[in-house]
Amino acid sequence: MSPAPPCFAADTPLAQVLADMAAARASAVLAVDGDARPVGILTEQDIARRVAFRLSPEAPLHAAMTAPVTTCAEDAGLWQAVAVLRAGHLRHLPVIGAGGRCIGMLHRAETLAAVSGRLLLHLDALSGDDAAVKQAQAGMAAALLAEGVPARDLVGLVSGINIDLHRRVLDRVLATHGTPPVPFTLVVMGSAGRGESLLRPDQDNGLILADYPDAEHDRIDVWFRPMTAALNDGLATAGFPLCPGGIMALNPLWRKTLPQWCRQFDHWARRRSGAALLFSDIAFDFRAVAGDAAPAAALRAHLSRLLSASPALLAAMAAQNQGLTVGLTLWGGFTDDEPGPGTRTDLKLHGLMPLVAAARLLALRDGIAETGTIARIDALARHGAIAAREAAALADAFDRLVDTVLRQQLSDHAAGLQPGSLVDTGALPKPARTALRDALRAVRSFSRGVFGSFTGQLW
């Protein structure tokens, strides 16, 4: 983006606005309110259509500007900005930072120049309905992968699109169901919480409700029941399958006030078996994606205190995770995880998951707030929990595994198959198979060491 354009109060005379606009060689200026938040935009086209030979120099800016002004947030993906520019036939898109103030400007020509023509076809679909957006992910990922964009970045992009879809569905549901009786925060968990979604993740979500008196429960819960059912159904229609384990906001177990969530985590720490461990593995990667983020931060702080006081929960999680093996045979070949005559290897279950689980355990032990696997590895290295060389090897292993699984998913998608995590390792070139073996060996060494450090069982 370019720097923020000149800004004026909406009642500034056009003569001054145009003089300053010319001096700055700006193609657009903004009208702002008393808090410097954009309320309108004046472009060169506006001047040609509304000002020249029509308005006097003393006319105020608001007489010629376009209002309201379309903007995008500073943390939005470039794909979102391109979709807005093209869908709205806009030439200028102000970028808004904290407090609602303009911090920069995207210009159509320069922005589209940063995006390949092949990719634009897929970006256009991102302004369509939810199902079209989800379908466009694969085409966009394939185009970017062909241009050399790292798979790790593509997974982040796919995850960002998924979160945007969650917000779109939620906004539509709220428009239908009205104002909630208490504020709430939408959280996602599992791969979505880590920002590591591949092409077909199922739903793992919940709500943190603002606290309310027990006597109000029936009145409040009767509103949230149909609302959360509509939310999860809407996400399913958009391309996110319902969670087979019921880890969704429509399930009361995953729809609680902050004190209730804290008590739920406390209960899991005491129980330390069965569903408590399964739920802990998924839920502890939570992050807020809509609503006030403060309750999620407070829950993260409670979890950190809980695990510091109850290390036995981490030991129990590690004991369960010891069942996660890597996809290598005793002789160094790749395991056969495919039912029937096929020989493909499940590199999510037997590659990514052991790495994710081991990094999670160390991060939770050390009170690291990050949920992404690479962010956790980086933080662990900074804290001295793992050596810098090992952190680099694990990051390379993560990248190799994500790249291999994503390429297989795109191949499956192109063949009209449901994208999964079974990879045809036999079809990989020899150098790729060698690099994949090295990645799995690094994951095996790391995960065994981490799990053993919590359980005392080295093998």
Residue 450 has which token pair? 């981490």
Query: Which helix (H) or strand (E) is 188 found in, with range?
Result: strand 184-188
Residue 432 to residues 25, 133, 199, 319, 435, Cα–Cα distance (Å): 52, 32, 22, 32, 5
Range of the domain at 261: 145-303
* Residue 72 near residue 81, CB atoms below 8 Å: yes
| 154/298 same-domain check | yes
- Give the pLDDT band of residue 122 (cuts 50, 70, 90): low
The total of other beta-carbon atoms located within 10 Å of residue 12's CB is 16
Cα separation of the two ends of the chain = 53
Strands (E), 85-148: 92-96, 102-107
Query: What is the arithmetic mean of pLDDT over 141-148?
Result: 80
Domain count, the chain: 3
Q: Does residue 121 or residue 89 have the better pLDDT? A: 89
Confidence (pLDDT) at 117: 56
The predicted-structure confidence for 199-251, as pLDDT tens digits, reads as follows 878 899 999 999 999 999 999 999 999 999 999 999 998 889 999 999 999 99
What's the chain's average pLDDT? 90
Nearest to 338 by CA among 423, 434, 419, 415: 423
Residue 104: strand pairing partners: 95
Q: Does residue 84 or residue 42 have the better pLDDT? A: 42
User: Is residue 129 domain-resident?
Assistant: no
User: Is residue 128 domain-resident?
Assistant: no
| 299/316 same-domain check | no
Phi, psi for residue 73 in degrees, rounded to 5 = -80, 155
Confidence (pLDDT) at 127: 59
Q: 345 CB contacts (<8 Å, ≥6 apart)?
A: 327, 334, 335, 336, 337, 338, 422, 423, 425
Confidence (pLDDT) at 441: 96
Question: What is the pTM assigned to this prediction?
Answer: 0.79
Confidence (pLDDT) at 158: 83
Query: What is the arithmetic mean of pLDDT over 350-366?
Result: 96
The total of other beta-carbon atoms located within 10 Å of residue 136's CB is 21
The predicted-structure confidence for 93-117, as pLDDT tens digits, reads as follows 999 998 899 999 999 878 876 765 5
The CATH number assigned to the domain holding 71 equals: 3.10.580.10
Phi-psi sector, 184: left (phi>0), alpha (psi -120 to 50), beta: beta
User: Is residue 265 domain-resident?
Assistant: yes
Among the residues of 178-274, which ranges form H helices? 190-194, 217-238, 258-271
| 222/149 same-domain check | yes
